[in-house]
């Protein structure tokens, strides 16, 4: 089932191997929650054990949740604020120097629309990719299969259901491109 999951094919999360990987992630997340804010080295060590790749200078604030952890890659200098959820049944790749606001959800997991396979417990997933220097405002939801280009900003409360190009501001439900980001600091 793990191989099916990673290929984006339907799988059952109740598979014993997947349950074991989820339990491992939960133990590491519990340790991360208990690590004090001042224990940066300890938090970083736990993140490196939990996640697939962690660049230098990554900060993940408390309340972080994920399914497995090993399918998440975070680039250097990225900041993940409080209460972030990453359902990593497929790869979640976050570029360098991204800003992820509180309560952002990166949801690579999905369920069948048809009732019978959903009732039977089948799931599937699609990758999520954030380019470098992406800023996701508070409460943004990014669905599986989405790529967000470098330097793009997604406004608070938006739901990203489709790819966004580099260097734009997108807002809304579903998120739509509103304008280029421009070059001036503000």
Under 8 Å between Cβ of 121 and 111? no
**Is the CB of residue 151 less than 8 Å from the CB of residue 132?**
yes
Given a contact cutoff of 8 angstroms between Cβ atoms, the answer to whether 44 and 85 are in contact is: no
Q: What burial class does residue 124 get, using C-beta atoms within 10 Å of its C-beta: 0-12 exposed, 13-18 middle, 19+ buried?
A: buried
Residue 111 bears catalytic tag: yes
Choose the catalytic residue: 7, 27, 40, 111: 111
Q: How far apart are CA 147 and CA 165, in angstroms?
A: 8
**Cα-Cα-Cα-Cα dihedral of 180, 182, 185, 186, to 10°?**
-50
Structure tokens at 113: 């629309």
Active site residues: 111
């Amino acid at each position: 089932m793990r191989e099916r999951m990673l290929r984006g094919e339907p799988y059952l999360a109740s598979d014993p191997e997947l349950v074991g990987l989820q339990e491992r992630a939960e133990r590491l997340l519990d340790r991360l929650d208990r690590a004090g804010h001042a224990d940066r080295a300890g938090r970083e060590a736990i993140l490196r054990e939990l996640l697939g790749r962690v660049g230098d200078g990554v900060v993940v604030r408390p309340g972080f949740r994920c399914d497995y952890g090993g399918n998440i890659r975070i680039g250097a200098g990225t900041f993940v604020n409080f209460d972030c959820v990453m359902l990593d049944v497929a790869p979640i790749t976050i570029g360098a120097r991204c800003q992820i606001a509180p309560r952002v959800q990166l949801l690579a997991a999905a369920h069948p629309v048809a009732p019978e396979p959903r009732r039977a417990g089948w799931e599937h997933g699609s990758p999520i990719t954030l380019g470098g220097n992406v800023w996701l405002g508070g409460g943004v939801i990014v669905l599986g299969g989405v790529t967000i280009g470098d330097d793009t900003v997604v406004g608070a409360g938006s739901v990203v259901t489709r790819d966004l190009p580099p260097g734009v501001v997108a807002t809304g439900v579903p998120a739509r491109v509103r304008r280029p980001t421009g070059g001036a600091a503000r």
